[in-house]
Chains A and B, each alone.
Chain A
């Protein structure tokens, strides 16, 4: 039991909440920017591109931490279908965090736009111009964004469900602030049922 972490490491928790803010901002900026012609359009696009690259870097760091530190186990009494859903949704979230910035980045050179971030940072073109590729990437970026938002909502609902209804310690594994007693084992992780 001792080797199994009770909570995510502080660095993992910091990255989780930082990226949560970035991702939610990203999704709102994305749908907002494409629906406006006001001068804010240009600022929003610049933030969207820059934040997208930042998220790509952060998610790679996060994956490395995940491989290094692992994750606390789910409560033993969590029904098997919910465990499966939890695992699959996390694969999907990580996948989208990697794929969405890459799609966004690739879309720009596929449309012959230079890739310019905040502060006039130029990124290389990772694809040549192509009508077909651009359309494919554009559609993928567009539809996956809505899937991503739905998945984020599901994730938030599940986190609140664990934290408020099941009170099974899952929320606490990723809680932003240190618990009063970091060393105390969280109730149900070793399998003893609370209900």
Chain B
């Protein structure tokens, strides 16, 4: 009798142990998303971004075509009233960035890509840095990361009604489509305005928070050019043009921070704030040098918009977090594929660099 109850007890204990371990393993699998095929993972965004032939190995999974620049950010001190970030203290801070085209193909012809961007990293002497990746449209194409993926899938779809269905479900896309059709093209990265679109929170020295967006407004006058004319100038015209232009002197952009009114939407980058909102000119980006990406200083930088100095933080806008997650995976993949995008100066030439 005692023997029987003891072996029953042992059996019960073994079942309990198996249950605990199995339950923990199942919980782990669930957390990892293995049991949730519908979870929106960064991998799903990268799949949606990839062109039909697969991604360009070794390159960024989006905004894959670009050229590095370096220069300085000349802060005028006005931003210090908005944010305690060191970068707004009057002074000059090293800046590094990348002019780019919104395409997953590093070989896309310039005149085939509507969206142009600027990745920027400003470093300050306190060891902090501010990374931002901006684009030229005045508002984003869609309201949510989910809708962005749906847009990519609809654009790639062979179903002729896919875009129509997408636009019906995401009416905000109509404004973007109208911008894409009608906004003038230019023949220079230097003539573009680059906008954060996403909203961030600036916290000043008194702890007061200001919802903000920022733009880099070019000093160069934009000159409209027909898309065909740009196409005639060659597939890589923009990177040659910016390099030539810098030979005759640095190019400047004014950084303007726009502050939201209390009721302005901060969670939806497809909604521009009204034009009369308070703006503060916080400084000037001076771009001094262009280098090809292959060996350039921007190659190894992920322009993750959530790498922020203290004094700037994310808002309720869901995009920066989604971008951070997806960009990070893109970086992990492309650095693992560096062999597919070899540096022309084999690694150790760093000693020859200034």
Contacts and interface: CB of A to CB of B under 8 A. Distances in A.
Interface stretch (B160-168, B277-285, B317-325): B317-325
A84 to B, nearest CB: 21
B321 A42 contact: yes
Contacts, number: 110
A82 interface: no
Interface of B: 10, 13-14, 16-17, 20-21, 24-25, 27-28, 31-33, 39-42, 45, 127-129, 145, 300-302, 304, 306-307, 310, 314, 316, 318, 320-322, 324-326, 329, 331-332, 335-336, 338
A36 B314 contact: no
B214 to A, nearest CB: 19
B336 A42 contact: no
Contacts of A42: 306, 314, 320-321, 324
Nearest to B43: A35
Contacts of A164: 13, 16-17
A155 to B, nearest CB: 10
Contacts of A156: 20-21, 24
Interface residues of A, number: 35
A149 B335 CA distance: 27
A122 B127 contact: yes
B159 to A, nearest CB: 25
Going nearest first, the 5 A-B pairs with the smallest beta carbon separation are A35-B33, A31-B32, A164-B13, A37-B322, A131-B338
Contact of A38 (B314, B321, B329): B321
Given A135-B336, A160-B13, A114 B129 contact: yes
Given A122-B128, A156-B24, A37 B336 contact: no
22 contacts: A27-B28, A34-B42, A34-B325, A34-B329, A37-B321, A39-B314, A41-B322, A42-B320, A42-B321, A111-B332, A112-B302, A114-B128, A120-B310, A122-B128, A131-B300, A132-B338, A134-B335, A138-B336, A156-B21, A160-B20, A161-B17, A165-B14
B324 A41 contact: yes
Interface residues of B, dominant DSSP:
helix
A28 interface: yes
Nearest to B338: A131
A165 B321 contact: no
A28 to B, nearest CB: 5
A113 B307 contact: yes
Interface string A121-141: 010000001011011001000
B61 to A, nearest CB: 14
Given A37-B325, A113-B304, A131-B300, A160 B31 contact: no
Contact of B335 (A38, A122, A135): A135
A160 B304 CA distance: 45
Contacts of A134: 332, 335-336
A113 B302 contact: yes
A153 interface: yes
